[in-house]
Structure 1
């Protein structure tokens, strides 16, 4: 009888807590809904402000870290294009943001801007 009573009591608490719904959408001040539409919107806003942040995702192997650092700094200084690695996790937000900002960069600076700026930086780096 004691075992049966404990079992019923345990099940009762289980049923009570199973009925509770957790709201996570607006629970936190920190949590913000990051959708594809938000990524596109943020990319356009950043471009209007002159912020061209073009991130790649995944593991990157740097054959010549010193040269790549110089190229990144040169590109940022001359064109205002910030190139970097966004980590390993790709979300809808980051994918849409990256695609939109890259389209804006190519439209503004030309389709060969990344190759052009790399060649310019490599020439300057070789002179050093």
Structure 2
């Protein structure tokens, strides 16, 4: 049988893995934004060169490049929204859930050092919400 500490650590690791995955996605989005931004700048430079041409072919190319740039800028805005709003919202959502249904949020479980995936982390027959636990100053608290 696992100790309370081992059991709580397992639950913390699961939530932290989910949050770390969200952080990884946010970093990937940020790298993609940088790449797209560089591409947009290159295309804008090429457009400024093409604008000096007088031919119909150049005008057609300018319109096509402008369309590509606009699509890239829209993509950047969507990725920024994902990075700045959706992913942090998902993190808050994960921490505000109560996976084990014991009346404590996952965040509260992590703060207490109990397992957010088990109602009774120390297997003493009392749900974590109603159980005594030790705070960081080793004072016993009861909810």
Name the TM-score class by shorter chain.
under 0.3
Which of the pair is proportionally richer in helix? 2
Normalised by the size of structure 1, how large is the TM-score? 0.27
Which of the pair is proportionally richer in strand? 1
